Amino acid sequence: MAQVYVENLNQHEGEEVTIKGWIYNKRSSGRIQFLMIRDGTGIVQGVMVKSEVSSEVFALGKELMQESSIIAQGIVRPDERAPGGYELTITDLQLVHMAEEYPITPKEHGTEFLMDHRHLWLRSPRQHAILRVRHEIIKGIRDFFDERGFVLIDTPILTPAACEGTTTLFETDYFDDKAFLAQSGQLYVEAAAMAFGKVYCFGPTFRAEKSKTRRHLMEFWMIEPEVAYADHEDNMRLQEDLVSFVVQRVLTHRLAELEILERDISRLQNVVPPFPRISYDEAIERLQDAGVDIEWGADFGGGDETILAEQFERPVFVHRYPATIKAFYMKPDPERPEVVLCDDLLAPEGYGEIIGGSQRIDDPDLLKQRMSEHDLPEETYAWYLDLRRYGSVPHSGFGLGLERTVAWICGLPHVRETIPFPRLINRLYP
């Protein structure tokens, strides 16, 4: 008898098959039991009629607790009312493990309770939908760069130096020295771009963010391309192409999941290039016009980003921020050195910044000067300065935060559900 997965039942109509899974839910009406069986790929209703199975099997069905693991045999029958279009007429059933009383029931649970049971919560259809969209986004990102000839470069997680400011570093002992968990792979992909031209890294990054917001994780995944000879304009074009590609990819491949999440897809269908571009100066004016008390030179808070993004149908670039509020490596605009050639991409619908990118400083003296202004020790960054000594070229790159992108595409209020096991300011468990 063929062992099949629920998602492939349509290829086995009329056949007797085996399904290995867990009891998701069940109900009974005397002579008939309805067992909802999930196997990771989907849920199928198993129908067990008293007169068609042995009395032991029928009795076992009655005892099954939610999430007990079972192996079921049955005949695949088309049924228009069934979620996947098929149900299973059960012919036999074996118990693998009888589960204890399962803590997550169909009733409403609070978020903290669900987060405490994240290892079990992953079994629910909603979490499945989110994590499958996440998977699709990752695949889409990889395909996008692979098809364009970028080389994947894995960057270290244990690092000697900061990339994004020293206030959010996680520190750890490194024998007689200290190390920091990587905040970004950027400095290393810059080196790789000088070796390979077009590269990207994609891995976990770590920030001891003191902020407890719906957009911040302590551990998040970032995709960071870096391109030699690319300027600030090339950089923004690559960003809008990537984001549009990924959104359209999810719309094509994961529509069923977006439906489970009740996502309004009309807003996603709009996500095609070009994206609007506004300068930081204009953003400040727009905020002031909207009644926000903000002056030139201040950084935006989450609320400010939402106000700006709501003024546009598509994601919007804000470019040329004041140098004083941005990272040490960003190249000043030659025509206006008080601003840098950087951009943040703000997602629509209040999701805020999903990308931060910039053209990098290619002049060794200016880079040294910036490092000393930021109190960064030159010895630790000597190798990074070398990149400006041996064939320095204009180059640019950016970082796309995976979890914020998943939250936006799925339409979730908080990033905590976008990663299997979130690390939050108050949560390291499970």
Residue 404 binds to ligand NSS (criterion: CB under 6 A): yes
Residue among 67, 87, 136, 224 that touches ligand NSS (CB under 6 A): 224
CA distance 292 to 300: 11
Q: Which stretch binds ligand NSS (CB under 6 A): 93-101, 114-122, 212-220, 371-379?
A: 212-220
Q: Which stretch binds ligand NSS (CB under 6 A): 80-88, 97-105, 170-178, 215-223?
A: 215-223
Nearest C-alpha neighbor of 425 from the set 164, 217, 231 = 217
Amino acid (one-letter) located at 428: L
Q: How many positions of this chain bind ligand NSS (CB under 6 A)?
A: 23
Neighbour count for residue 404 (Cβ, 10 Å): 23
Q: Which stretch binds ligand NSS (CB under 6 A): 31-39, 53-61, 216-224, 239-247?
A: 216-224
Residue 305 binds to ligand NSS (criterion: CB under 6 A): no
Residue among 134, 198, 216, 249 that touches ligand NSS (CB under 6 A): 216
Nearer to ligand NSS, 74 or 399 (CB): 399
DSSP string over 48-80: EEGGGS-HHHHHHHHHPPTT-EEEEEEEEEE-T
Helix (H) or strand (E) holding 358: strand 352-359
CA distance 106 to 24: 10
Nearer to ligand NSS, 72 or 130 (CB): 130
Q: Quote the least distance from Cβ 357 to ligand NSS, whole Å.
A: 5
Q: Quote the least distance from Cβ 222 to ligand NSS, whole Å.
A: 5
CA distance 136 to 354: 17
Six token digits for residue 15: 């056949």
Six token digits for residue 89: 């007429």
Q: Cα separations (Å) of 419 from 127, 165, 404?
A: 10, 25, 10
Q: Quote the least distance from Cβ 327 to ligand NSS, whole Å.
A: 7
Of 343-362, which residues contact ligand NSS (CB under 6 A)?
353-357
Residue 240 binds to ligand NSS (criterion: CB under 6 A): no
SS3 breakdown of the chain: % helix, strand, coil, rounded to 5? 35, 30, 35
Inter-residue contact 302 to 213 (CB < 8 Å): yes
Q: Quote the least distance from Cβ 253 to ligand NSS, whole Å.
A: 23
Q: Quote the least distance from Cβ 291 to ligand NSS, whole Å.
A: 26
Helix (H) or strand (E) holding 25: strand 16-29
Nearer to ligand NSS, 45 or 184 (CB): 184
Q: Which stretch binds ligand NSS (CB under 6 A): 100-108, 116-124, 365-373, 401-409?
A: 401-409
Q: Cα separations (Å) of 100 from 21, 109, 117, 119, 204?
A: 16, 19, 15, 15, 35
Six token digits for residue 237: 């074009």
Residue 399 binds to ligand NSS (criterion: CB under 6 A): yes
Inter-residue contact 384 to 370 (CB < 8 Å): no
Residue 401 binds to ligand NSS (criterion: CB under 6 A): yes
Q: Quote the least distance from Cβ 299 to ligand NSS, whole Å.
A: 11
**Closest residue to ligand NSS using C-beta atoms:** 401
Residue 342 binds to ligand NSS (criterion: CB under 6 A): no
Which parts of this chain interact with ligand NSS (CB under 6 A)? 163-164, 184, 186, 207, 209, 216-217, 220, 222, 224, 353-357, 397-399, 401, 403-404, 415
